[in-house]
């Protein structure tokens, strides 16, 4: 039994972006309860050479919106990477969710063999749609969502696997 490209993308992004918004909400409440300046967590990173929480959220949303757009054959929307507060990060997630949920199965299904070409910093990545989604877009999305979760958990925010997975 095969799975549709839509089913492998849009509902997954919806679940985990919603969960990420929930994790950020708990982080904001943690800051209020512990009297921590929220910017401390928004700029926190796991290691000095890793991106901060805000950038992890930005990149996760970029992979979600970018992959569905590419698979559907439409231009990828550009979001400015200026978020510096929990409120702004929540707004970016909400905007991404609205965008992703706007796609219908007919727009994405059948993109398994679609040629996807990404211009990287120093090279060009050429993949078929199914490989692009399963071997590039989803792994990158999950890397950044997981890293955002790990930053907050490491900072003492009381979150667990159920928070990461969301309400499903």
Q: In angstroms, rounded to a whole number, what is the distance separating the alpha carbons of residues 8 and 87?
A: 29
DSSP 137: I
Per-residue pLDDT of 11-70, as tens digits, reads: 999 999 999 999 999 999 999 999 999 999 999 999 999 999 999 999 999 999 999 999
Cβ count near 33 (within 10 Å): 9
Fold of 10-165: 1.20.120
* The token pair that represents 91 in the structure block: 């707004």
User: What is the reported pLDDT for 168?
Assistant: 52
β-partners of residue 128 are 115
Give me the residue spans of the domains in the chain.
10-165
User: What is the reported pLDDT for 1?
Assistant: 56
* The token pair that represents 51 in the structure block: 């991106």
pTM for the whole structure = 0.95
């Amino acid at each position: 039994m095969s799975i549709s490209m839509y089913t492998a993308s849009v509902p997954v992004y919806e679940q985990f972006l919603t969960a990420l918004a929930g994790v950020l909400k708990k982080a904001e409440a943690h800051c209020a309860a512990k009297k921590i300046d929220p910017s401390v967590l928004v700029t926190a990173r796991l290691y000095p050479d890793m991106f901060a929480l805000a950038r992890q959220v930005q990149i996760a949303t970029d992979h979600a919106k970018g992959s569905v757009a590419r698979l559907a054959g439409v231009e990828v929307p550009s979001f400015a990477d200026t978020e510096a507060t929990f409120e702004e990060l929540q707004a970016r997630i909400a905007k991404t969710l609205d965008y992703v949920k706007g796609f219908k199965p007919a727009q994405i299904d059948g993109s398994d063999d679609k040629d996807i070409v990404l211009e990287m910093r120093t090279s060009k990545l050429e993949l078929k749609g199914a490989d692009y989604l399963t071997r590039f877009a989803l792994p990158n999305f999950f890397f950044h969502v997981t890293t955002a979760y790990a930053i907050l958990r490491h900072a003492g925010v009381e979150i667990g696997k159920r928070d990461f997975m969301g309400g499903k």
